[in-house]
Structure 1
């Protein structure tokens, strides 16, 4: 056993999990290609691997248990596989095949996390139907599903924020605070908070699995990585065939060959008509090049020029009677709220309500004539 493994096995599960979350959090604040970020990710993956092994050895979770048999402190360690899946998917890969392997490892741990939630029936059927189903292909249904998912996640986050004693900056910070809840924290609130955080991780897990599936599909359709050439076949400084400045030497030889044995051009050339052997054809071609207008001829019609200027946005449009008869922003907002039965109308109605509420608050704080006191107090 290495010294790192021995040290990790001697500390508590909570300390080990907190260290892994801290390493993962520090990597998220750096570019993915930064060596420091990759080093933090590898450290987090190592700790999570040891932590998962210790959780399995302790038998914290069992398919034969019900949710009432699950300890509140133990339930938080369901997040180990979820965090491991997140970290494994962020580790840099060299090439297509290694990236596919990383994604498959990430998918495996995320599905283990989902199996734990399913085993203890921690996710309601409504949430399973909303977040686990595939996104529809048509735009209207996709937009409706996205709005419902966003509202459900927003409500869940607000409920978690109400139960937490302090504010969190990210989901990783939320997991860390869940692990380090003080012993004086109310047991019922701690259990409710833990289950809601697991539901939030379920939402993130389903989104991550969809993203992994799409990326795996693209990678499997991509061509395989090209094998690297042996060292003796690589270009060397003594090999001048690849140097660009070698072309200049060929250009000076106008009587040399036009193409190399592989069919690549060695110098510039001009394509001439097929009947250039005729003297009359040569005379006519040269005459067309000499006797031409001294000024530049137009390259497009006026209609084409105006169409191009309009495409670039250089022509002002609008105004007149059509602009005068168009509804104002306030009138358009009122019209939008009258579209009953649509999500767009609900959003516009909520916007109208906020504007009316803001106006009522302002008028109450600034009564009529309050700004014209003439220094009378």
Structure 2
């Protein structure tokens, strides 16, 4: 069957099958094969949207939710040269999807509360955010399990169903469609958080690159000015003249210091001069200069006179007598002030 002859249901289900296969694909997201499937699925959903409008099967408030959700998801998977544009369009699809779900009263109370928190950017403590993440993780796991069970019962792998349904399966299929939409709502709100974070990151990167490009331009301009002005070699700088000429170009080398840091160092500097060397270094230096004599600290032993040395014994006797005479003539304290008063 040619693509032009395919029905709306066939076009939609083919695009949806491709999308679901991408969700569990082992291919690298930036591989050619993966990106080809992304592009094909996007074209399928865009064609489905065009067929809905052309055939006037639904009003603007009816059942375009699925297509908007899928397009929003696929644009996040696409690798392009303008990521910010894809993020912006993806957010528009998600916003439209949530608006239609709210119009049809499909949003649950927990989803409405969570959406209001996202819109208001309500600050929450770490424990609250952690509890919310755990609860939403459990809910996502539960919905995945239920969707798998519905697919098993209905014998389908997508949200659509071709053919007649028995009366006993009609109610289950209705619950399946509603659960599918609730799961899409859940994923949409998670993706909106990710889009906001990625947009902020990409804008910061653009600002940084723009600043770096401006600096590179300024550097290049300075280099051209130097070459044009014939800047001289550093060996013939004027060491005593002014720092800069009237145009602001430096005329001699100088060092830019942080005055605030210099003042802080002066304020918190100790009042006394800090030592420039250790005690061991000082002693080593004095020894090298010859200001310290090496040797032991013990007093020299008194030389004893031999008993057979009569001259030596006589000299020692005379020395002892003279010392006794000196002590008699000079009592202790004689030289102190006021020591002889009395």
TM-score when normalising by structure 1: 0.48
* Number of the residue aligned with 1:34: 31
Which of 169, 178, 198 in structure 2 is aligned with 1:195? Answer: 178
- The match for 2:15 among 16, 20, 27 is 20
Give the conservation status (yes or no) of the 8 Å contact 2:17–2:158.
no
What are the superposed Cα offsets for residues 48-97 of structure 1, whole Å, 9 maximum, x if unpaired? 11111212334444467xxxxx7xxxx5x631111111111111122xxx
1:183 has 2:167 as partner? no
Say if 2:74 is the partner of 1:84: no
Alpha-carbon separation, structure 1, partners of 2:31 and 2:14:
20
Measured in 1, the distance between the counterparts of 2:181 and 2:34 equals: 26
Deviation at 1:163, TM superposition (A): 3.5
Q: How many residues align?
A: 206
Q: 2:117 aligns with which of 125, 133, 138?
A: 133
Q: How does 1:281-296 map to 2 (within 5 A)?
A: none
Task: Pick from 118, 125, 135 the counterpart of residue 148 of structure 1.
Answer: 135
Structure with larger RCO (C-alpha < 8 A, sep 6+): 1
* Structure-2 separation of matches of 1:56 and 1:109: 16
SS at match of 2:30: coil
What is the CA-CA distance between 1:162 and the residue it aligns to?
A: 4.2
C-alpha distance 85-8 of structure 1, shift in aligned 2 (>3 A): farther
Change over 3 Å in CA distance of 1:22–1:196 after alignment to 2:
closer
- Separation in 2 of the partners of 1:163 and 1:131? 27
Query: 1:196, 1:78 → 2: CA distance?
Result: 13
**1:24/1:196 CA distance change after superposition, 3 Å:** closer
Describe the superposition over 1:251-296 as per-residue Cα deviations: whole angstroms up to 9, x where unpaired: xxxxxx99xxxxxxxxxxxxxxxxxxxxxxxxxxxxxxxxxxxxxx
Following the alignment from structure 1 to structure 2, what is the Cα–Cα distance between the partners of residues 154 and 201? 13
Say yes or no: does 1:51 pair with 2:32: no
CA contact (8 A) 2:71 2:93 kept: yes
- Cα distance 1:167–1:219, how it changes in 2: closer, same or farther (>3 A)? farther
The Cα offsets for residues 226-251 of structure 1, whole Å up to 9 and x where unpaired, read as: 7xxxxxxxxxxxxxxxxxxxxxxxxx
1:179 Cα deviation from its structure 2 partner = 1.0
Provide TM-score, normalisation by structure 2. Answer: 0.52
User: In structure 2, what is the Cα distance between the partners aligned to 1:130 and 1:193?
Assistant: 23
Q: Cα deviation per residue 1:123-146 (whole Å; 9 max; x = unaligned)?
A: 122332135533755311111111
Sort the Cα spacing of 1:44 and 1:163 in 2 relative to 1 into closer, same or farther, 3 A: closer
**RMSD of aligned alpha carbons:** 3.3
By how many angstroms is 1:15 displaced? Answer: 1.2
The 1:217/1:48 distance shift into structure 2, 3 A limit, reads same
| The one of 80, 88, 100 aligned to 1:93 | 80
- Return the index of the structure with the highest Cα Rg: 2
- Superposed displacement of residue 102, structure 1: 0.8
**Unmatched 5+ stretches in structure 2:** 211-232, 235-342
